[in-house]
Structure 1
Amino acid sequence: MKQQGFHIIFMLLLCTFAAQAQLDAIQELPEVVLADAKLLHFSKGFKVEKLSDSVIKRNATSLTETLRYNSSIYFKENGFGMVSSPSFRGTNAAQTAVIWNGININSNFTGQTDFNTISPLNYDAISIRSGGGGVQYGSGAVGGSIHLNNNFSFDKTNSTNLGLRYGSFSTIAANASTTQSWDDHYLNVGVDFISSENDYDYVGKSKTNNHGQFLRFSAKVNEARKLKNGFASWNSEYSYNDRNFSGSLNTLGRDAYKDINTRNLWQLQQNIGVFTTKASFAHLFEEYKYFPSSEKYYYEGGKANTFIGALQTEVFLLKKLRLNGKLEYDYVSASGENVGDNSRKTLAAVVLLNHKISDKLSYGVNLRKEFLNDFDNPFLFSADAKWKLTNNYALRLNGSKNYRVPTFNDLYWYAGGNFQLQPETSYQVEVGQDFVFGNLKADVAAYYISSKDLIKWIPGNGGLWVPVNINKTENYGVEVNLNYAFNFNKRNRLSLNANYSYTKAEDLEKEKQLIYVPFHKAGGSLQYDSKNLSAYIQGLFNGEAFTTTDNSDRVDAYSVFNIGIDYKFAFIPNITFGGRLKNVFNTYYENVAYRPMPSRSIEIFLNFNI
């Protein structure tokens, strides 16, 4: 963690710069340019949930924490702040795509994203798109996709936000961002930092989480310039993570892990008559270093560069028919002690269509075909429709074919990689319903996923583990989301948000539930708001989850509750002060076997809006 001092200094410099800005006396609602317009225009028949700013801020430690309490996704976390991977509708971590401003950022080595390495405060919008998204977003979008977007507007803006947090286990955190727009320019700059000794007690075990220290620093720059008939934009992000890996109930932690990720996206959009044409270029870089002993210099590592070039044209006819065609070329070059030097090229052709038949009925058809790489590339398709039968009831339907290509670890790992692997494929169908009963809004969805050629690492000759295409799985379940709000008067409001999911994910060969997929998961929050005060209680229930493929061992079901309060000073409304008490009842719980999660803890914060 030698770079901690540099990151703190960098943040202080930005805060000093940001503090010069002043908020305009009158602000108008800006016209926002969406970073990923496909999510809005070509997902009408899919379930898309956008998280509110208040929800993100109260669960700001990591993207894991944000989504754990506010979605039906289950997270396998090897101790707090350690490696965190999702199970979305019972699929594995590599079957959940993370989309940054329209680009899939899952690792080329593991095929997944570690959600503890991502700060949710870096984005203007975080959305959860349930269901297959392989046509639009490529490999891995099987169970669903998480969208991290930085939007922009050319309406005059001059605002700065600064946040400071301190909590149990010697945890300190700070974030700052400033947004300026003038004439035809837009600029957003921000940083986020968190560091923790992470030495929480194992509840009832007379043990402490030693060797679990972690640090995360990230910075962002988002810039745009308005042109005569379009715009040019640049999105950039840098993140650095330094973690000592925690031990378990039975082992002491010794190893450590450091990683760096940079992402840059340049876009040029021009409107020519009824056509909108966009050219984009992106560069993604990832590097990791694994230290078998955190006290020694020796490490094993790898790095990968991804270059993406795309050209797309969209036409919107008679305000009813939207058609988008896209060509995308990806080139990936990776190297490492365990995977050698390898590369991958992919050319993809995508066609998206949405037809609004009437104000109440619309449908979409999406197609994708890939070329050039070494796999038997499947032809992908999806179709969706939404029908608003009444003002209080809407029905949606979608179906899709999706896939996941083998990662570099799957293909080239020095001790067992298998370059004969074929892509995983899956078929999915979903039926959803939206209800409105006065102040109550409800969403009920039922889905079915059938997958084959799943990649699984199994013991081979000589005790080496090797990946093969063998598994067939069947996933089905039900998800329910409820939102209720009641206004006592102009200053007092009570709101309830709740979600529940039942997930059956079965290995058809073993006729057993897949590991780390609980049958039941529920969460929600109850919040009271007045003029200057906001108080809430937040709850999470995870049912038991099996930890072995024969379902002989499991992690127990648990419930965890958090409470919090935010207060705005009447005489200084731009300052918010508050605190949160996490794990109120000091519950012992595990997300991964023998990896206890934190005991009761407290966090206090101070936010400035300048």
Structure 2
Amino acid sequence: MGIKKSSVFVFSFLNLALFFAQEKSIDTVVVFDNQMRKVKLFHPVTTLSPADIQKNSSNLSEVLRFQSPVYIKENGRGAVSSPSFRGTTAQQTAFVWNGININSQFLGQGDINNIAVFGYDNLEIKSGGGSVIYGSGAIGGSIHLNNELSFNQGFHGSLNSEIASFGTFNHFLTASYSNEKFSFKASANYLISENDYEVPEKRYTNFNGKFQNNTFNISAAYKLNSQQIISFQSQLYDGEQNYPIREENGNRSRYDAQTFRSLFAWDFKTKIFENSFKAAYTEDNFQYFGDPNKAYTSGGINKNYILKNDFNYFFSPKWNVNVIGELQQNQGEGLGTSGVGIVKRNVGSLSGLLRYFATSKLRFEAGVKQDFVEDFTAPLLFSLSGKWSVFNFYSVSFNTSKNFRYPSFNDLYWQPGGNRNLRAENSVQADLTQEFKFGNLQFSFTPYYMKIDDMIQWLNTPFGYYSPFNINRVESYGIEYQLKYFKKFGENTQLRLSANYALTKSKNLDTGYRLMYVPLHKAAANADFEYRFLKIYAQGMFTGLTYTTSNETRKDAIDPYFVMNVGISATVLKEYTFGMRINNITDTVYETVAFYPLPKRNYSFYATLNF
């Protein structure tokens, strides 16, 4: 499951530029999101490998909670879960699958626990606005689910099986084959859990908490010649969540979700330009069952047809211009009591980015974007970034941008209550990152400021139902710290440390109160030690006081907590790995959403076969 380092063919011409002089060209790698390499030139990005993801294999919520500064609100283990970047909401976070925004057109957000945790070559987390490149919703930050394909690697495969507490079984199989012209990869994941944990201190039993899901991924690429590659990526996900209840005889309900994503890409590159054309189809279906033994109560079918072209022209090693055009048709059909009906909208956008590499240590980027949304007015967006390596040990970068989110189908068409007069949420943000490197130690801190206007909020009306309105003005500011340390002791021993801390203040300017579910303090740390065939890791997470009401009521707030996980594994004969994990070894009683505690101490055992 390791990631092989090599130069990216779509971006290979930049090897002529000084800022890529340290990279070596080994084998061509197809990267489906070719913009991320460019984003990293100006923005700090946290990258998690498959090995990192496997440490928190129960769901994507656990991965992000322990390995990123993002706050995750989870209604019990495996249930509805949503992220909060820099004090924003789930609707202001963009989920990006191989360069394609996959936020739900109905909800305007992504449910983390209905997104597969396995099947990606890396997962990347970027804080700060990114609407110029990644579109609606990229206000607080973005979470990127990326796949890659390599050539000339032969055959590789692995099988990972895990047995864990609460009747949990998790199996992941992956296989790949490639030669000089052709590359293919496939994977499958099956996860099921009775999820029947108890928290006696809260008098809580997670009744009706069972969840299960299946994921299949297929990708392939073919070299037409030395300048052109065509590639294909597809994902199928089928999940089922039972909503937890506090009493065994309570009203049981269930939520089913099915997603299908398919992406075709044609990449063409010469010494003076690169062009990446993508055609994608995504489908998100969901059904809510008020009674699991009866037909669904409500739901929706969402189909998206997407064409995207990314053209990059190099005037010289110092100057290049990047033009991105995108066309979408979003189709939706509400089911049952949703009242949405059959709706659709056409969306287009045109972005232009100009990059200037003054020297190997100084570079700038300026971008502008106009979205065209049917029956809707979208604001003109902009971005401006720069990075300067002042000394060998010190660099500074700045980013400022205007970002937005247009209303979802539910915001506009839900009956009763949909509001077709809504305006887009828009924000301006700025941050300044300072990075220090001293030998094996890297340290950075980023103060930031963000202001959001026309935030969409659902409020009760005199008619007895809820409706969305543009009312809130939100101000969010804070500072993020990151630390990394890596040390090798001889050929067989190494130590890796990473830590992050976020101080976040997010306030509703209309009321003067802080936003709900935005802790003032959140920190996480990871330590990995490897000696020959043995690996040991530890994770720690601290979350400060978290208000759960809109008026900062202390008695209803979630108290601060600290949670720690540990794990150990041994590799035998280079092909067999056996390991165990102890999650919440501190046996902490904690929750991220009021009234829904997460599990106390629990265990998992796994085995991996590489072939």
- Per the TM superposition, whether the score is higher than 0.5 is yes
Tell me if 1:316 matches 2:319: no
8 Å CA contact 2:131, 2:404 repeated in 1: yes
Tell me if 1:426 matches 2:438: no
8 Å CA contact 1:42, 1:354 repeated in 2: no
Tell me if 1:596 matches 2:578: no
Residue aligned with 1:592, SS: coil
Equivalent residue runs for 1:22-33 within 5 Å: 30-33=27-30
CA–CA separation in structure 2 for the residues paired with 1:126 and 1:574? 25
Alignment CA distance shift 1:431-1:248 (3 Å):
farther
Tell me the residue number matched to 1:113: 110
8 Å CA contact 1:283, 1:305 repeated in 2: yes
Amino acid at match of 1:429: A
- Which segments of 5 or more consecutive residues in structure 1 lack a partner in the other structure? 1-27
Select the residue among 189, 193, 196 that pairs with 2:193: 196
Q: Quote the sequence identity (%).
A: 36
CA–CA separation in structure 2 for the residues paired with 1:334 and 1:372? 15
Residue aligned with 2:35, SS: helix
Alignment CA distance shift 1:322-1:62 (3 Å):
farther
Residue aligned with 2:69, SS: coil
Tell me the residue number matched to 2:279: 281
Alignment CA distance shift 1:567-1:253 (3 Å):
farther
CA–CA separation in structure 1 for the residues paired with 2:27 and 2:243? 44
CA-to-aligned-CA distance 1:225-271 (integer Å, 9 cap, x gap): 11122111111000001111112489935110001000011111223
Q: 247-256 vs 77-86, which deviates more?
A: 247-256
CA–CA separation in structure 2 for the residues paired with 1:289 and 1:53? 31
Residue aligned with 1:462, SS: coil
How far the C-alpha of 1:205 sits from its partner, in A, is: 3.6
How far the C-alpha of 1:492 sits from its partner, in A, is: 2.2
Equivalent residue runs for 1:364-403 within 5 Å: 364-403=365-404
Tell me the residue number matched to 1:415: 416
Tell me the residue number matched to 1:57: 54
Tell me if 1:473 matches 2:474: yes
Tell me the residue number matched to 1:331: 329
Tell me the residue number matched to 2:580: 579
Tell me the residue number matched to 1:439: 440
How far the C-alpha of 1:443 sits from its partner, in A, is: 1.4
8 Å CA contact 2:207, 2:247 repeated in 1: no
8 Å CA contact 2:239, 2:258 repeated in 1: yes
CA RMSD in angstroms comes to 1.5
Alignment CA distance shift 1:209-1:360 (3 Å):
same
CA–CA separation in structure 2 for the residues paired with 1:66 and 1:372? 34
Equivalent residue runs for 1:529-540 within 5 Å: 529-540=530-541
CA–CA separation in structure 2 for the residues paired with 1:312 and 1:496? 37
Equivalent residue runs for 1:161-200 within 5 Å: 161-200=158-197
Tell me the residue number matched to 2:6: none
Equivalent residue runs for 1:66-215 within 5 Å: 66-215=63-212
CA–CA separation in structure 2 for the residues paired with 1:183 and 1:598? 48
How far the C-alpha of 1:435 sits from its partner, in A, is: 0.6
TM-score by length of 1: 0.93
Q: 254-263 vs 31-40, which deviates more?
A: 31-40
Alignment CA distance shift 1:263-1:485 (3 Å):
same
CA–CA separation in structure 2 for the residues paired with 1:417 and 1:172? 41
Residue aligned with 1:94, SS: helix
TM-score by length of 2: 0.93
8 Å CA contact 1:248, 1:596 repeated in 2: no
CA-to-aligned-CA distance 1:211-233 (integer Å, 9 cap, x gap): 00000110001111111221111
Tell me the residue number matched to 2:356: 355
Amino acid at match of 1:279: F
Residue aligned with 1:239, SS: strand
CA–CA separation in structure 2 for the residues paired with 1:372 and 1:491? 56
How far the C-alpha of 1:599 sits from its partner, in A, is: 1.8
Tell me the residue number matched to 1:292: 290
8 Å CA contact 2:562, 2:588 repeated in 1: yes
8 Å CA contact 1:203, 1:587 repeated in 2: no
Tell me the residue number matched to 1:224: 221
Q: 509-518 vs 346-355, which deviates more?
A: 346-355
CA–CA separation in structure 2 for the residues paired with 1:237 and 1:554? 39
Tell me if 1:306 matches 2:304: yes
CA–CA separation in structure 1 for the residues paired with 2:589 and 2:153? 50
CA–CA separation in structure 1 for the residues paired with 2:83 and 2:544? 15
How far the C-alpha of 1:284 sits from its partner, in A, is: 0.6
CA–CA separation in structure 2 for the residues paired with 1:148 and 1:251? 39
Amino acid at match of 2:377: D
Tell me the residue number matched to 1:543: 544
Q: 421-430 vs 121-130, which deviates more?
A: 121-130
Count, aligned residues: 581
CA-to-aligned-CA distance 1:13-47 (integer Å, 9 cap, x gap): xxxxxxxxxxxxxxx95432221121111442212
Alignment CA distance shift 1:455-1:82 (3 Å):
same
CA–CA separation in structure 2 for the residues paired with 1:146 and 1:207? 32
How far the C-alpha of 1:210 sits from its partner, in A, is: 1.0
Equivalent residue runs for 1:506-585 within 5 Å: 506-552=507-553, 553-569=556-572, 572-585=573-586
Alignment CA distance shift 1:29-1:191 (3 Å):
farther
Residue aligned with 1:193, SS: strand
Residue aligned with 1:518, SS: coil
Q: 242-251 vs 589-598, which deviates more?
A: 242-251
How far the C-alpha of 1:272 sits from its partner, in A, is: 5.1
CA–CA separation in structure 2 for the residues paired with 1:358 and 1:272? 23
Q: 578-587 vs 422-431, which deviates more?
A: 578-587
Amino acid at match of 2:564: F
CA–CA separation in structure 1 for the residues paired with 2:217 and 2:31? 17
Tell me the residue number matched to 1:7: none
CA-to-aligned-CA distance 1:174-203 (integer Å, 9 cap, x gap): 001111112311101111110000000114
Residue aligned with 2:412, SS: helix
8 Å CA contact 2:190, 2:215 repeated in 1: yes
8 Å CA contact 1:44, 1:363 repeated in 2: no
How far the C-alpha of 1:397 sits from its partner, in A, is: 0.2
Tell me the residue number matched to 1:5: none
Amino acid at match of 2:394: Y
Alignment CA distance shift 1:249-1:211 (3 Å):
closer
8 Å CA contact 1:166, 1:605 repeated in 2: yes
Residue aligned with 2:201, SS: coil
How far the C-alpha of 1:297 sits from its partner, in A, is: 2.8
Select the residue among 249, 256, 263 that pairs with 2:261: 263
CA–CA separation in structure 2 for the residues paired with 1:300 and 1:372? 27
Amino acid at match of 1:335: E
Equivalent residue runs for 1:468-507 within 5 Å: 468-507=469-508
8 Å CA contact 2:188, 2:215 repeated in 1: yes
8 Å CA contact 1:314, 1:323 repeated in 2: yes
- Which segments of 5 or more consecutive residues in structure 2 lack a partner in the other structure? 1-24
CA–CA separation in structure 2 for the residues paired with 1:606 and 1:212? 26
Residue aligned with 1:415, SS: coil
Q: 323-332 vs 452-461, which deviates more?
A: 323-332
Alignment CA distance shift 1:298-1:313 (3 Å):
closer
